[in-house]
Structure 1
Amino acid sequence: MRILTCLCSKSTQASSNLFQRIVRHFPDEGNLSLAFTYGSGVFPQHGHIDMAANMIDFIFVVRDSEKFHEKNMQTNVTHYSALMRKLGSSRVAHFQKNYGARVFYNTLINCEGRLIKYGVISNSSLQSDLLNWDSLYIAGRLHKPVNVVHHYFEDNPELMLAMRQNLLSAIFTSFLLLPETFSEMQLYHQVAGLSYLGDFRMTFGEDKDKIRNIVEPNYQHFQDLYRPILDNVTSDMQDFVSWQPALQKLQVDSSPKARHIYLEKLPLRLQIRMAREFDKRAMQIRDLEEILRSIARFGNIEDPVRDAVIHTVKKSAWNQSILSLLSAGLIKGWRYSLQKIRKMSKGIVRSWRT
């Protein structure tokens, strides 16, 4: 568990108790595999003095989405918009499974005296995103520290392995985007920023300093999350990666051979996206392995890697935002959008002052 989660410190134990109480408002009956919280309502961020004033973000990972929505509509029907209530749990589960980033959100919910937002995703959809980076929507959130409130990892070891693989993919992608020598802080900025590449909300609707605001106040949490994996990576790849924990410095081999090894460790879907775009320039039909070797020899390797991530994030961010607006309804959707604009405005003001 140390590899996968950032454990609450003593100062956040009261919040952990609150999270547990909130989760008990939702149906389980063995259907809830994992529940975690994230964001500025859970972890400190620059510019957010009173965390208790921030909305708490939850993700519920369920075995059977239709069963969850059916039970949730019985106990928490007001969480759903009028349109979603009319359509019913079967259609809601259909929207979740087939549209956006395979997540269904209910937002601006009052629970236990706090404002919360929660997303529902199935086990299979989450595992696919973690392993393949289908959308990088929830996989990207799990690149950053989260607070696990509820889990059944013992019954689902595949999910734990997929979560670990997702962190490895983030590290090797970052190796291809960073210079040969970089600091531990630079690495965490890079991994935290992957899921924001290509996200239109970073242009309009999000604080421009969001990545820095996430990483710097939570540096220790990022170390807790990634250092065990960095130890394993550097132990297994001593000829290519040098890690100096005391100095908080890393050095990676940037030769074509080393780059090819990093590329092979990326999610298959990302490899395919990269190869398709790269081979357009070559105007040839080749197999994936041959194209990856060509990319490894490419001078500006960060360009095809970044473009592949941008393509992944851009599409899912647009589609999920449209689905979330439909699921929230016009009034809640407008209120939530206003909150995002206010956060962006505060970030602009802070940047002017500094």
Structure 2
Amino acid sequence: MSYKNFPMVSRVIFGRGSFNQLNDIVAPKRLNTKSPFIFLVDDVFKNNTWLTSRINLSYDDKIIYISAKEEPKTSQVDELVESIILDTKERPSGIIGIGGGTLLDLAKAVSIMLTNQGKTENYQGWDLVKNPAIYHVGVPTISGTGAEVSRTTVLTGPIRKLGINSDYTPFDQVILDPELTKDVPKEQWFFTGMDCYIHCIESLNGTYLNTFSQSYGEMSLELCKDIFFGESLSKEEAEDKLMMASWHGGMSIVYSQVGVAHALSYGLSYLLGTKHGIGNCIVFNHLEEFYPEGVKLFKAMKKKHNIELPQGICADLSDSDFDTMINISLSLEPLWENAVGKNWKNTVTRKKLKELYKKM
């Protein structure tokens, strides 16, 4: 039997206020005075000096503010890489992503594409990256996506939504500072937290499950229950726990895989631009057939936090639109094999997927 030899994030720092150590952490990684650090920062922090004043720019270092309103695209990565190459005298010393899953995925993708030729879309898939990425650091400012720890960077390309899954994708350094999540709006907190919860449910109920994945998944699931059902947690305790749930949830799928909710939500995201966290929630709400206990608990958490999901987002779609989403979903074969088993094509039919999408 052959076992997968996966890389992990090689360095991680956790703690409230640990973001203050960013400059000391990256300084020894500077190649020379002409090789800048490029900071990709969620533009919600553009006028937030509480965060940005702690980024010390030296030499030709640069902050690029990026909107996270839309899912990250391969074309966006190509544009960023081109602008960085044109603006810098030498290859950057490193890319530092500060934000939610969108910014973290962009930072991972840009760091890969600075050392690999061609278009980003050509690297969507498993183990297609040939050259190591440049040094890259992830600083999550919202918890739940698991992007800070995963070996994939999920991107929407011209023909599909699919990650760059490679040994060179994981961050070299992650800074987990729960204090950075203090201003996340409630609904966004819930949807992104549920992304983490769904990671656990899909991993723990999948055919790829193994003790490695199970130990992380069970820890993350318990933390999620604490956070979304716990009565006595302070805001700070909940922030700390969700950051660790996100980390463990991400680790639970490193050695296994996600499942039905992600396979279907990729279709929604590609066609309608639905954000990943909310898309997972919209789909998961209808997956009792696959995850009966998980969906029951999800609905209870939704009720407890007074969360309303968008209704009827697929109501006016054409047959061609449904076909597009179904094609995207069915192309994610490892997700279906994990969810249903090796013979998944016998039961996961186009008709079944269309019926599921029509419920949304």
Kindly indicate whether structure 1 or structure 2 has the higher relative contact order, using CA contacts under 8 Å at least 6 residues apart. Answer: 1
Query: Which structure is higher in helix share?
Result: 1
TM-score, normalization: structure 1? 0.30
TM-score by length of 2: 0.30
